[in-house]
Amino acid sequence: MITKMNFGRTGHASTRIIFGGYALSNATQVEADRILEMLLEKGINHIDTALGYGNSEKCIGSWMETHRDDFFLATKTRQRSYKGALEDLKRSLTQLKVDYIDLWQMHGLTNPVGWEKAMGSGGVLEAFIEARDKGLVRFLGVTGHGSKVPAMHLRSLERFDFDTVLLPYNYLTMQNSRYAANFNELYELCRENNVAVQTIKSVARRPWEDRSKIYNTYFYEPLETQDAIDKSVHWSMGLQNNFVITVGDMQILPKTLDAANRFKKKPSDIEMNDLINEYDVQKIFSY
């Protein structure tokens, strides 16, 4: 069984594996319904999506009339202005067919210029606070991709007491000393303040060599064998209090859930180095 634990200060006991809604970006409703059945069967009770994930919100919205109480529901906006963010929220509520969203997140907040706009007067932070005060959203978070994310999240938490953070975390990424130092500092700060930590890219293998083969994982090729997925997912789950978001691919999802269901301990560095060599695992962003 996939274990549950408190999702930071939210009061919700979330499964340690969170469904990554990007997997539904190009899905039909029939495919999405099949995914929902799988999530319910495996006991997954937390969904993370975004307005920019293609068909995802609409597909998920069709489930919410009968399954709203089964899921902690999170979405995101890339807008950096007050007005744009509230317009996005209105669209998300409509597409998801809900009266409120459990967690609303600033999507990809890593660019310093965008950060200043988002956090300043007339920025998205003002919209976040207003939406929370009105009961349209319950909790607020910040997300990001790339090597600068841990440092930028630290800056964001200095500016505002966000409830959650989301960022990359896998064995190879953590071999970079600068990234690891910033990640560990962020992790400790979140632990001290009961901020939920969500991580992505647990099963990233390498950037796509042939861009024509890109499917739902967007810009990186995932690991595909069950053994490799087991080790990678277990390594990420080995970080205490970490919630792992599934890769954005419907074919990899069952293997990820199976791996999480069998998690017992974190693989050793020797095992992970062997995996990197066997599967030619490469960094997916520059440092």
- In order, the DSSP letters of 6-36 are E-TTS--EEESEEEEGGGGTT--HHHHHHHH
Closest of 103, 111, 106 to residue 79, by C-alpha: 106
Residue 142 has pLDDT above 90, yes or no: yes
Beta partners for residue 2, in sequence order: none
Mean pLDDT for the chain overall: 95
How far CA 220 is from CA of 50, 65, 196, 267, in Å, comes to 19, 34, 25, 23
Closest of 221, 162, 171 to residue 195, by C-alpha: 162
Domains in the chain: ranges and CATH: 4-279 (3.20.20.100)
pLDDT tens digits for range 193-223: 999 999 999 999 999 876 665 555 567 899 9
Average pLDDT score over residue span 40-50: 97
CA distance 172 to 284: 10
Provide the b/e sequence for 243-255 (b: ≥16 CB within 10 Å).
Answer: bbbbbbbbebbeb
pLDDT over 70, % of the chain: 97
pLDDT tens digits for range 87-106: 999 999 999 999 999 999 99
Assigned token pair, 267: 């693989």
At 214 the pLDDT is 55
Q: What's the pLDDT band for 108 if we cut at 50, 70, 90?
A: very high
CA distance 209 to 249: 18
Closest of 48, 63, 50, 53 to residue 17, by C-alpha: 48
> What pTM was computed for the model?
0.96
State the Cα angle at 144 between 76 and 193, rounded to 5°.
90
- Is 23:253 a contact under the CB 8 Å cutoff? yes
Q: What's the pLDDT band for 285 if we cut at 50, 70, 90?
A: confident
Q: What's the pLDDT band for 1 if we cut at 50, 70, 90?
A: confident
State the Cα angle at 273 between 271 and 276, rounded to 5°.
110
Which has more confidence, 220 or 181? 181
- 187 CA to centre of own chain: 15
Q: What secondary structure letter does DSSP report for 49?
A: -
CA distance 150 to 179: 7
β 17-20/101-106 pair status: unpaired
